Amino acid sequence: MIQEDIVAAIAAADHVIIHRHQRPDPDAFGSQCGLAAIIKASFPDKRVQVTGADSPSLAWLATMDHVEDADYQNALVIVVDTADTPRIDDDRFNQGKQLIKIDHHPNDDPYGDLAWVAPDASSTSELLVDLVTHGDGQLKLDNTAARLLYAGIVGDTGRFMYNNTTAHTLRDVALLYGFDFDPSAVNQKMNEVTLGQARLQGLAIDEQHMRISAHGAAVVVISQADLQHLGIAADQYQAAVGSAGRLNEVRAWAMCTEQPEGNYRVSLRSKGAVINDIARAHNGGGHPLASGAKAADRAEIDQIYDELDALLAATPKAPSESE
């Protein structure tokens, strides 16, 4: 099994460097730093580093290490939670002795000497719990790893609200609950927003920023001026991505956030209709109900809105969609 090969590669390595994707979310940070904690607990003599840009909004979970170019010599490099190589944070990922990919996104960009990709898993953090439990005792969880992996699972399941939450997911969470950390404190921290983020959530559903089609497609456009007025940092706008989805009238939506360069990051979400094909058509990809894309300008945003509307017109409502 691929899990056995990955555990064997970790056991054989003296030095491990772990990467994840740019603009990290809790699963990226949780799986990256959770895996580092697992390796440190299992093999105290190994050198383990995590690399990538620090995220101020996730500093309560972990911070990154300073990794020199020379550190990659003979190192095992593991990339977690990253579907394609352009999104890997720190482009030195291919300078080690061996490369491993562990991910739960569709495998649109196969890479690595070893790759474990399981799109049915709720999160990469869930996969790492499984890596420990199927590792014949070679890998160990500790309190630090349990807290990080719990945060990752909670983040990618929307606090267990999304349909990627399975019985297996909850069994893994029950295992993590057996360790000495405070799940309620993690939940509370992940539920917190700044005043600026709260105001952005309101902005995202007002009539000046959001439009909704008769079929339940919504598009939200947030400008750089909006972000600057509210004091929203580059890694904080994601707090408003789910706002449109709380509306009964909305079945699928795109939140389009203007970047300093003038183009837009597009966060696509759906309550039932599969939207990752639309994401792929606009320089993106991701999960069937949660994907990311890019739009060059307002004209491409209009195109995405029209494609969402056409998709919903042709797609009956799923049981998960409210009446």
pLDDT digits (tens, 9 = 90+) for 229-246: 999 987 788 899 999 999
- 265: β partners: 257, 294
What residues have CB less than 8 Å from 96, skipping those under 6 apart? 17, 72, 74, 75, 76, 77
The DSSP result for 234-247, as a single string, is TTTGGGGTTTGGGS
Average pLDDT, the chain: 95
User: Which tens digits make up the pLDDT trace of 140-194?
Assistant: 999 999 999 999 999 999 999 888 999 999 999 999 999 999 999 999 999 999 9
Query: Is 323 a residue whose pLDDT tops 60?
Result: no
Integer Cα distance of 285 and 136 in angstroms: 35
What separation, in Å, do the N-terminal and C-terminal C-alpha atoms of the chain show?
44
Q: At what angle do helices 167-176 and 143-156 cross, to 10 degrees?
A: 150
Tell me the two tokens of residue 137: 């005792």
Cα separation of 279 and 287, whole Å? 9
Average pLDDT over residues 76-92: 96
Smallest Cα–Cα separation from 58: which of 81, 90, 36, 25?
Answer: 25
Q: Which residue has the higher pLDDT, 115 or 287?
A: 115
Contact yes or no for 257/249 (Cβ under 8 A): no
Angle at 223 between CA 219 and CA 227, to 5 degrees: 115
3-state secondary structure of 307: helix
Q: Which of 34-48, 229-243, 279-293 has the highest mean pLDDT?
A: 34-48
For the chain, give the percent of residues with pLDDT over 70: 99
- Per-residue pLDDT, averaged over 287-291, amounts to 91
Q: How confident is the model at residue 136 (pLDDT cuts 50, 70, 90)?
A: confident
| Whole-number pLDDT of residue 134 | 86
Nearest partner of 305 among 251, 253, 264, judged by Cα: 253
pLDDT score of 318: 77
Q: 279 with 229: CB under 8 angstroms?
A: no
Task: Return d(Cα 179, Cα 15) in angstroms, integer.
Answer: 27
